């Protein structure tokens, strides 16, 4: 089998490389040149396989991220943010309390025939 046939077989075993060609991120010639120099060495093709992981299934990576999350630390930040919002709310509500003061007593329309509390 000649070098071109070996390269075709290699591409069939690595469909993520074909996606680069379809998306016009790389050319067949560029991949062939890499293959010609390095063959099917894992180190030469590792950068393209990592990209496949980013485009493909992210569930394992999300699981790893979730393991590293410290929920106690997040709760502290949420509490701090709530306190800050409470202070801002108090400051803004004190400034408008005179304007929006509640009316004392029930509101009812005055009869038209009554003048000066007759």
pTM over 0.95: no
pLDDT at 78: 92
> Residue 35: how many CB atoms within 10 A of its CB?
20
DSSP state of 100: T
Q: Which tokens belong to 17? A: 């490389």
Q: Cα–Cα–Cα angle for 115, 112, 103, nearest 5°?
A: 80
Which residue is it, tokens 């680069």? 20
pLDDT score for 19: 86
Q: Which tens digit of pLDDT belongs to each residue from 52-99? A: 444 555 566 777 777 778 888 889 999 999 999 999 998 888 755 555
* CA atoms of 79 and 91, how far apart (whole Å): 19
């Amino acid at each position: 089998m000649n070098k071109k046939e070996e390269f075709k077989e290699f591409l069939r075993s690595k469909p993520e490389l074909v996606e680069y060609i379809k998306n016009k991120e790389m050319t067949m010639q560029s991949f062939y040149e890499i293959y010609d120099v390095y063959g099917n060495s894992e180190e030469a093709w590792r950068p393209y396989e990592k990209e496949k992981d980013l485009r493909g299934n992210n569930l394992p990576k999300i699981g790893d991220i979730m393991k590293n999350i410290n929920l106690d630390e997040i709760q502290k930040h949420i509490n701090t943010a709530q306190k800050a919002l409470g202070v801002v709310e108090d400051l803004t509500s004190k400034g408008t309390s005179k304007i929006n003061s509640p009316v004392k007593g029930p509101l009812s329309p005055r009869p038209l025939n009554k003048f000066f509390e007759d």
